[in-house]
Structure 1
């Protein structure tokens, strides 16, 4: 990151914002750039690049030309930026609208759009648009995007770059390399879809993200023009749901209760399949998407064997084989140093880093930081750093650049005035940077798509706050808001609405519940008394956070695994308190959890966020090494098999060996 370039861009922006008539290039060269050594041509190239960067940020650099009086008086060109250029319009929100907006911003689970939503909310806070609001008790919907592929595709879609990936074609069952122009992403029928123009076929195509068999590669040196007036939700509305098919599987007797509950009452006989082996039961399981079912069946390892159809059998074998190959591959020479999240590489090993933070990234943060400080005077410096997701050292580096930036004359009153000597940050001179810049396309997408998603919750759609805040944000986002139509999130309405209503009423009244619950980790059904605390969702899968009296601690229960739920009539205990995290975490770490080192490929890198990795380091091939806490390690072989070559266990060695043995036993079923 070049601090000097960041400071130069910031000074240029301040100079052009604070001039009424504009500044000539010679004035800028002398007073902003302090350039005395480069040639006119070299300076001109640098100045044009910087103007391009400011335009990239959304600032309209105006060119004003004054014609000379005669041949001995040449034309004069001046530059300026209007006071209203790229400024977020004032947005005034009611408490009810703020409630809906905050819920929409918190929808995105870990994704890049989650960071964009945080930035957008911070801009609204800096403009004074947000007021204190109380979130609805016990309701916290969230969206979990489809892994790293989602992140890469969203970035390519907004930057208008084509992408390539390997895809398992539904028509042929073969893996094919695809080169496409991504137009939109959306979720329907529990599946994430990409709508894109396939360059090789010259036509629009739908791609299910569950069928991508490789990481997405973004072709950053190429570009495309997106389809005008594209609407992802309209595209998905015309998509027919996959037909129901039947899979025939042999399952170990007395095992996999969850799979058995979904099986048909009478197994469908499979011609030429023979009888199941001793100790196994034959089940007929309905399904729609073979890849989704294959992911589940692969996770069961040797406890299940696919009989038919061939497409499903092939998919399960492919996942198991890929997982086994990755689990047996040489271990990378990388380790976590004590007390640090930085990797240790042996001599001669050069890691490939992720995208470095650039001066443009730093400037973007500063343009949020100044208006935030103006509207939040006196915050502790550590609190400010936490709000921006950076370290105190990084924040102080930003502040040191800011206090050296200002108007061309450079007098004390012409500089940004920021103080943090007592660890409390105050700003007294903002040089017209006190208003936040407009939403980026990612920020507009994050908020507007989130608001559209909340339509699935009747209690939020009622009262008009959802509609009114959507209209206000659409007006504030302008053209960037129109691009939000390229993204369509899943509906968050729960499938088990009866359990949801029972839980919500118990949370409201403070009443203890009794439930009968199926645990896939233990493959058993248990009865428990619980004190309900919060409801939240990941896509349309809803969870109930509760204090479990049997476990004597906080637990999260999936509503679709609750077989019975009823009120006991007793009040909740004093020990029933929700977790500290907000939004609530799906996994609550404990001191006695096993610390597991997992290697993730680039395709599976998003799992580090899904499982709240405590430390991660980048690997030379673009993958990650992640240190994750697991409360129950018995299911880790399932975890490795499920992700089909995107994850493996490195440490402890006994867990790594257990996963290899499970994969070997599962594959042995298909050797003939």
Structure 2
């Protein structure tokens, strides 16, 4: 959509909103389009496209028929948009309800529905429904991004399109092409699942997103219809958890302390091996090489454990079962093949600054959507400084002024002074005097309703929120405001966010509230060591049900983030926190705190791995053909970069510095060599 088309659509919208009886197409052509050159057929196509765009933005266009006075006076059509057409109803929220709603929206920081949640909150803010609320220090959960496949599936599901993708079948272990009608996405047993109609099999099927082996292709010409009253949470409730099995792995002595902590004695390593032991452990089977220990590791899903074991590279060899050997070797081979291909030229757009969020380039469509939120926001927030308005919408002052200049040139056909939008910002404080019926935002789109309502449902897992009535009351209000789009929120179900270790969480929360210093024993998987540290606890937050403590670490003399499930002991020291302890300015909290001595690494990501740019807070990104990208990322330690590459199995590789890229290739080659026989 070009800038001129954006302005034309805005004028068309204002004209249709401000007519009581409707406007004929000839009137619109003359007064709005000022079209005198194109044919009737060409203008008709353009008009139909524009009507479709306005419907896409949430405005229902009514067609009113004039029957005519006789046979020589044919019927004509007039068009209008009702002033209540698809407008967001008034939503009045208390401070407690706003707190819960902000938490629900912030669940999706980098996940696929992050921008939808932001848009939904802006609409509520534009309607004057939000009040000031303070977020609790100990409850700041987020949903972990589920990769590009998740984003593509959400988009296809809401647009009602079929999809195709490569899938590793659990029953056969073979990769197959699947054609699926996506009905819903949900989290179960720590995994994301797609529920839909498999056209290849002719029946409903569950697809684990971790088993999707290719980019998801959205088939825009193939529509779908989900079953009536479909609820993905109810569908997944009947899904049985995979049984616990034991993997047999050979680990280099003195390495992988974290894996050893949860390992068992490998079957068959003691006298009297039980019948049915895992292959490779029966008497006479090949034994581990010198300098390695044979361990038994419990697991449920070979793909999940395979991702972890692949990241350990040459430090571990899988002996059994065969499906796990295949899962690890496939990832290592894919990573090695990607790392061996010629590197693209490294160039990033000029003028980019830190923390460049991944996403498609802003378009005129984004601008029009923003302007439709901007007008009602200004109506309810008269006199804000232009800098504050730009910050609210996440744009620069220049972008905001470009929006305002288009708005003040838009209005009713004729263009008389009183017929134009009247917005003034001469003194840097923005006022709107004439809004031309754009003073209320449109209803939530499906993805916006899903983002908020799924987030609220996810927060039910936190006892401190579920016990109050604010969560229930704000959910009811949002359901009423969302209407039909709210009912479609049942297509999505988020993961549990309740902490696994509630005792550690309570100790940390009490210390934050009382300002007490803590001493912890912490296992660091990157360093493969356990250390003791004195920390000043600052904030608690989560990704899914993995909780983190943000604290000032006296050993590192800086802010650090500690996973609660890696804290082996946690006790108050009896000392107060130091005066220097301050939380990071950003919210939600970043998992990584940049330092001056970090190494800047250029990483190439395929389309499937593009979400890693957000996960690791890429400072610069540059698109590549085929949907991939280059990302410039800071890493505090480069020792684990080969692990990072192997774990993501052919979707990420190091490009620069060349020494790190070569070290990564050598590391992958050594890991693969273990499986040559």
Query: What TM-score range do you get, normalising by the shorter chain?
Result: over 0.9
Contact 1:93 1:131 in 2 (8 A): yes
Q: CA deviation at 1:277?
A: 1.2
- Write the distance in 2 (CA, Å) between the matches of 1:609 and 1:354: 9
SS at match of 1:526: strand
Superposition pairs of residues 69-80 of structure 1, within 5 angstroms: 69-80=69-80
- Write the distance in 2 (CA, Å) between the matches of 1:589 and 1:559: 21
1:330 partnered with 2:335: no
Q: Which runs of 5+ in 2 are unaligned?
A: 270-280
Q: CA deviation at 1:631?
A: 0.8
Superposition pairs of residues 81-230 of structure 1, within 5 angstroms: 81-230=81-230
The change in CA–CA distance for 1:260 and 1:413 in structure 2 (over 3 A counts) is: same
| 525, 531, 549: which one aligns with 1:520 | 525
> What does residue 347 of structure 1 align with?
none
Superposition pairs of residues 41-52 of structure 1, within 5 angstroms: 41-52=41-52
Q: CA deviation at 1:74?
A: 3.9
SS at match of 2:264: coil
- Write the distance in 2 (CA, Å) between the matches of 1:621 and 1:71: 58
- Write the distance in 2 (CA, Å) between the matches of 1:605 and 1:629: 16
| 641, 644, 648: which one aligns with 2:649 | 644
Superposition pairs of residues 158-557 of structure 1, within 5 angstroms: 158-265=158-265, 267-269=267-269, 270-271=281-282, 272-336=284-348, 339-340=351-352, 358-557=363-562
> What does residue 345 of structure 1 align with?
none
The change in CA–CA distance for 1:296 and 1:54 in structure 2 (over 3 A counts) is: same
- Write the distance in 2 (CA, Å) between the matches of 1:657 and 1:213: 26
Q: CA deviation at 1:267?
A: 4.7
Q: CA deviation at 1:243?
A: 0.5
The change in CA–CA distance for 1:542 and 1:273 in structure 2 (over 3 A counts) is: farther
- Write the distance in 1 (CA, Å) between the matches of 2:619 and 2:364: 28
- Write the distance in 1 (CA, Å) between the matches of 2:213 and 2:285: 29
- Write the distance in 2 (CA, Å) between the matches of 1:7 and 1:191: 45
- Write the distance in 2 (CA, Å) between the matches of 1:341 and 1:464: 43
Superposition pairs of residues 596-611 of structure 1, within 5 angstroms: 596-611=601-616
> What does residue 617 of structure 2 align with?
612
Post-superposition Cα deviations, 1:502-534, rounded to whole Å, max 9, x if no partner, equal 111111111111111100011000111111111
Q: CA deviation at 1:67?
A: 2.9
Contact 2:518 2:572 in 1 (8 A): yes
- Write the distance in 1 (CA, Å) between the matches of 2:268 and 2:35: 81
Q: CA deviation at 1:57?
A: 2.2
SS at match of 1:629: strand
Q: CA deviation at 1:73?
A: 4.1
Task: Give me the TM-score of the superposition, normalised by structure 2.
Answer: 0.95
The change in CA–CA distance for 1:664 and 1:239 in structure 2 (over 3 A counts) is: same
Identify the range of structure 1 (122-131 vs 413-422) with the bigger mean alpha-carbon deviation. 413-422
Q: Aligned-pair RMSD on alpha carbons?
A: 1.7
- Write the distance in 2 (CA, Å) between the matches of 1:172 and 1:68: 68
Q: CA deviation at 1:633?
A: 0.9
Contact 1:24 1:77 in 2 (8 A): yes
Q: CA deviation at 1:20?
A: 1.4
Post-superposition Cα deviations, 1:574-598, rounded to whole Å, max 9, x if no partner, equal 1111111111111111121110000
Identify the range of structure 1 (469-478 vs 656-665) with the bigger mean alpha-carbon deviation. 656-665
Q: CA deviation at 1:548?
A: 0.8
The change in CA–CA distance for 1:338 and 1:6 in structure 2 (over 3 A counts) is: closer
> What does residue 589 of structure 1 align with?
594
Q: CA deviation at 1:355?
A: 6.1
Q: CA deviation at 1:64?
A: 1.8
Contact 1:108 1:114 in 2 (8 A): yes
Post-superposition Cα deviations, 1:58-94, rounded to whole Å, max 9, x if no partner, equal 2121122233333344434322111100110000011
Q: CA deviation at 1:386?
A: 3.3
Q: CA deviation at 1:43?
A: 2.3
SS at match of 1:87: coil
Identify the range of structure 1 (132-141 vs 517-526) with the bigger mean alpha-carbon deviation. 132-141
- Write the distance in 2 (CA, Å) between the matches of 1:432 and 1:438: 15
Post-superposition Cα deviations, 1:84-142, rounded to whole Å, max 9, x if no partner, equal 00110000011110110000000013123111101111111111111111111222000
Contact 2:112 2:145 in 1 (8 A): no
- Write the distance in 2 (CA, Å) between the matches of 1:476 and 1:566: 47
Post-superposition Cα deviations, 1:318-356, rounded to whole Å, max 9, x if no partner, equal 0001101111111112323665589xxxxxxxxxx9866
> What does residue 574 of structure 1 align with?
579
The change in CA–CA distance for 1:384 and 1:518 in structure 2 (over 3 A counts) is: same
Task: Give me the TM-score of the superposition, normalised by structure 1.
Answer: 0.96
Post-superposition Cα deviations, 1:164-200, rounded to whole Å, max 9, x if no partner, equal 1111111111111111111111111110101111111
Post-superposition Cα deviations, 1:451-505, rounded to whole Å, max 9, x if no partner, equal 0000000001112100000000000000000111000000000111111111111
The number of equivalent residue pairs is 662
Q: Which runs of 5+ in 1 are unaligned?
A: 343-352
- Write the distance in 2 (CA, Å) between the matches of 1:174 and 1:329: 25
Contact 1:268 1:284 in 2 (8 A): no
Q: CA deviation at 1:51?
A: 1.9
Post-superposition Cα deviations, 1:4-37, rounded to whole Å, max 9, x if no partner, equal 2111111111111111122222222221111222
Contact 1:297 1:304 in 2 (8 A): yes
- Write the distance in 2 (CA, Å) between the matches of 1:504 and 1:334: 45
- Write the distance in 2 (CA, Å) between the matches of 1:95 and 1:340: 37
- Write the distance in 2 (CA, Å) between the matches of 1:56 and 1:40: 24
The change in CA–CA distance for 1:265 and 1:662 in structure 2 (over 3 A counts) is: same
- Write the distance in 1 (CA, Å) between the matches of 2:120 and 2:350: 36
The change in CA–CA distance for 1:391 and 1:221 in structure 2 (over 3 A counts) is: farther
- Write the distance in 2 (CA, Å) between the matches of 1:71 and 1:331: 72
> What does residue 10 of structure 2 align with?
10
Q: CA deviation at 1:217?
A: 1.3
